[in-house]
Structure 1
Amino acid sequence: MDFLRPRTWAEALDLKAARPEATPIQGGTDVMVEINLDKGRPAALLDLTPIPELTEWSREGDVIRLGAGVTYSRLIGELGARLPGLAQASRTVGSPQIRNRGTVAGNLGAASPAGDSHPPLLACDAVVEAESVRGARLIPIGEFYTGVKRNALAPDELIRAVRVPVARGPQYFSKIGTRNAMVIAVCSFSIALHAAERRVGTGVGSAAPTPRRAVAAEEFAAARLDWQGRSPLDPDVAGRFGELVAGAAAPIDDVRGRAAYRTHALAVLARRALGWAWADFRAGTDADSSADSSAGSGAGDDRGSA
């Protein structure tokens, strides 16, 4: 197995073009596990850790551009108020050591249906920034997942950044596992209220061949929620929302849980998440205002780097 270590982004793109079979590695929290368990041995590893610009994030209007090397720990500490759903999901990833190394871009590259970052990225309408020597392109998150552990990247492309809109309303992430920490999700769910657009975003994880949105549930909730009067959430609306989320899934039986359990659990997670988000909305929670007034966490900065 060859080990390739470019020092610049341009060099990384050149190496990926010359060796499209090379597997990019940043934190190594997925790739090295596969190698150590003898579940796969890449022909080459393309180590992107020396490239400084990948460890930076910036705000561009209402979007956070999250460099491919920004770790879960930094996302939590520096962007938790602006990207609350993604930060909540990041807190559930592995152990502190894993969060100090792992990245959202690495989660996207692995494209596991159980990846924790996928549901909030779907709920928030994130966009993946991919690049090769042929140029750059933007891939909407809903088009990124193409199959079990497969994504829309071309063989010569690398993820340079992920563009995530700043929260303009409450966001929540929940998952169920066989224990409370360091666990792969049995199923997971994320919700984002896009209040200005009177729209609901969702993301379902570990309950289908790919992460996916629950479109029918989004449309139902958007039409039935009292956006103007902010009246209390109707339990029937919450219940039906949960049913529609569960109906969007296509789970299987595996070592972590049965399909029937996943379907039931998703309905419960979705019903609760909608209740939490709506309660915050009624209380007037504004994620971006909170970020701008926060102190000590780095969340108020417009740029961040390692």
Structure 2
Amino acid sequence: MSVATRADFHRPAAVGEAVRLLAEHPEAVPVAGGTDLMVAVNYRHARPEAMLDLTGLAELRDWTDEGDAVRIGSGVPYARITAELATVLPALAAAARTVGSPQIRNRGTLGGNLATASPAGDGHPPLLATGATVEIASTSGTRTVPIGEFYLGPKRSALGPGELITAVTVPKAAGPQQFLKVGTRNAMVIAVCSFALALDPDARRLGTGIGSAGPVPLTAPDAEALDLPWSSPGRFDDALAAEFGRRVAAAARPIDDVRGTADYRRHALAVCAARALRRVWTTAHDRSPR
């Protein structure tokens, strides 16, 4: 009979102490909400030799208004993002609303979503669509990584040994945003695929984010470059929306798995992207919903 080993437990009181402990104990696994890690522990998929409890770090558990952006501490739970940031970060707040149950949203954090780096993480598409940046601390100091450079592979990120995600800075919405998620039910489900869209009418720019349809969260540059009738909004039609959907689907790199086939993911993304573009265009130009 196997005997469970006891993990060392560290509870720093400040970020400086946390990164020092990480440097001294590279085997330690940071834990905040624990909604991913503890599931793996309970199912014996992970057996950390040591844990670094981040819940006592007050500087990670708040957000600040930076003028044209919001800096969100990595320990801020999804429930607060939904309740407090929906007007300035609508796509991220919409994604936060789809995460698990109320209990999970009260515990789970955006920083944990990033650290896990699962392609299916709900927080990733809005961060890509809005051009967020990730703040990472270590004993060497702090560095900032553009969100598009953060994801390196399935559950692999730019986070190095001894480094800790401390915050995510997300530009405030410059126009309407959407987040759509496809799953086998409406709640407490891992995405079959997901899509985020941010429209900036003044800059005449689109931002995209694709989730659960590739080895990493993706953007759709060809779709973002679609020639839209910015000067004559009334010329927007379903053909343009459908073309946008096709370009988003083409940017995906899905596989067949237990949640869905690659073909279904592409189809669903095309539908979601076309729907999202119609919605943001309608909202931006005060047209009645279709």
Question: Which TM class, normalised by the smaller chain length?
Answer: over 0.9
Other-structure match for 1:78: 84
- 1:24 is displaced (CA, Å) by 0.9
How does the TM-score come out when normalised to structure 2? 0.95
The CA deviation at 1:96 is: 0.2
Q: Report the counterpart of residue 274 of structure 1 in structure 2.
A: 277
Confirm or deny that 1:53 pairs with 2:59. yes
Q: In the TM superposition, what are the counterparts of 1:38-117 in structure 2 within 5 Å?
A: 38-117=44-123
Structure 2 residue aligned with 1:192: 198
1:197 shift after superposition: 1.5
Deviations 1:70-108 (A, max 9, x none): 111111111111000000000000000000011111100
8 A contact 1:194–1:200 mirrored in 2: yes
Contact residue 58 and residue 65 of structure 1 kept, 8 A: yes
Alignment correspondent of 2:4: none
1:226: which partner in 2? 229
Q: 1:232 Cα deviation (Å)?
A: 4.8
The partner residue of 1:11 within 11, 17, 20 is 17
User: Contact conserved, 1:21 with 1:155, CA < 8 A, in 2?
Assistant: no
For the residues of structure 2 that align with 1:33 and 1:183, how far apart are their CA atoms? Answer: 15
1:38 is matched by which residue type in structure 2?
R
Kindly provide the CA deviation profile for residues 180-228 of structure 1, in whole angstroms up to 9, marking residues without a partner as x. 11000000000000222111000000000000101111111xxx22223
Query: CA separation in 2, counterparts of 1:232 and 1:27?
Result: 47
In the alignment, is the contact (CA less than 8 A) between 1:169 and 1:192 conserved in 2?
yes
- The Cα of 1:7 is off from its aligned counterpart by 1.1
Structure 2 counterparts to residues 143-222 of structure 1, below 5 A = 143-220=149-226
| Contact 1:169–1:193 under 8 Å retained in 2 | yes
2:129 to 103, 123, 134: 123
- Give distance in 2, aligned partners of 1:39 and 1:232: 54
Q: Deviations over 1:115-173 (max 9, x none)?
A: 00000000000000001010101100000000000100111110110000000100000
Moved more, 33-42 or 81-90: 33-42
Indicate yes or no: 2:267 matched with 1:264: yes
- Report the residue type matching 1:245 in the other structure: V
- Give the Cα–Cα distance (whole angstroms) in 1 for the partners of residues 215 and 48 of structure 2: 23
TM-score by length of 1: 0.90
Q: Which letter does structure 2 place at the counterpart of 1:19?
A: H
Determine helix, strand or coil for the equivalent of 2:202: helix
Residue segments in structure 2 that go unaligned for 5+ positions in a row: 1-6
- Cα displacement string for residues 27-80 of structure 1 (whole angstroms, at most 9, x for unaligned residues): 001111111111111221111000111111111120100011111111111111
- Counterpart secondary structure, 1:81: coil
Task: Between the two structures, name the one with larger relative contact order (CA 8 Å, sep ≥ 6).
Answer: 1
Q: Secondary structure at the match of 1:203?
A: strand
Where do 5+ consecutive residues of structure 1 fail to align? 285-306
How many positions carry a matched residue from both structures?
281
User: Using the alignment, how far apart are the partners of 1:77 and 1:131 within structure 2?
Assistant: 27
- What's the secondary structure of 1:98's corresponding residue? helix
